[in-house]
Amino acid sequence: MKVRDLVFDLDGTLIDSAPSILASIQGAFDEAGITPAAPLTPALIGPPLAQTLRALLPDAQAHALPGLVEGFKRHYDTSGYQQAHVYPGVQDMLQALGGLPVRLHIATNKRIAPTRLIVEHLGWNTRFAGVYALDFYSPALAHKAAMLQRLRQALAGTGPAPLYVGDRAEDAEAAQTSGMPFLWAAWGYGGDLLAVPPASVLRTPSQLMSALQDPPRPQEHDR
């Protein structure tokens, strides 16, 4: 194997969490008595929670952000997380990867507490060697690129860089910045506009196994 560590994004890559996240966002706004400034669509999924909620707040009500964050957490961490669905083919993909000499990890913008709840709820505790989020670190990291840089340093050592699998442009850019090769999960929330080489596109989870036989190289990044 040319890949020793395989790192997955979570939302939009392994699970479709849009229904649960959007329901919890709506619940937080309803509790606060505020109307979101934009429609609640799956395009919102991906960035850190506070960033997403701030984008939905009218400027005149920006002061309500802390309360919205806490309202979302209460809803999502109690029951909302259980509504996430595993994408078709992902369970089979993870089972197949379990037979290979490769370590699996999760690196997500989702908070670490619900991420661990989801992993446990899905019975994935033994599937993943590590589960990471921005607030896994202290102090919390500012963005995914910083997290992948940490992981590359921690996991690679003198071996090959970990390979990152994600669904959004932010994922591709973070992998590029950190010097990690990237595979695009085209079934996720990124749409059809992600500019990645054809060989880096996964149309279905089952295609990952063949992609690992000739994995992509890290893209050059102007530092």
- Tell me the catalytic residues: 9
Distance CA 45, CA 51 (A): 11
Helix (H, G, I), strand (E, B) or coil at 26: helix
φ/ψ bin of 139: left (φ > 0), alpha (ψ from -120 to 50), beta (otherwise) = beta
| Residue tagged 């994922």 (tokens) | 171
CA nearest neighbour of 104 among 113, 114, 93, 115 = 93
How are beta strands 201-202 and 85-86 bridged, if at all?
unpaired
Question: Structure tokens of 9?
Answer: 């994004």
| Residue tagged 């505790």 (tokens) | 125
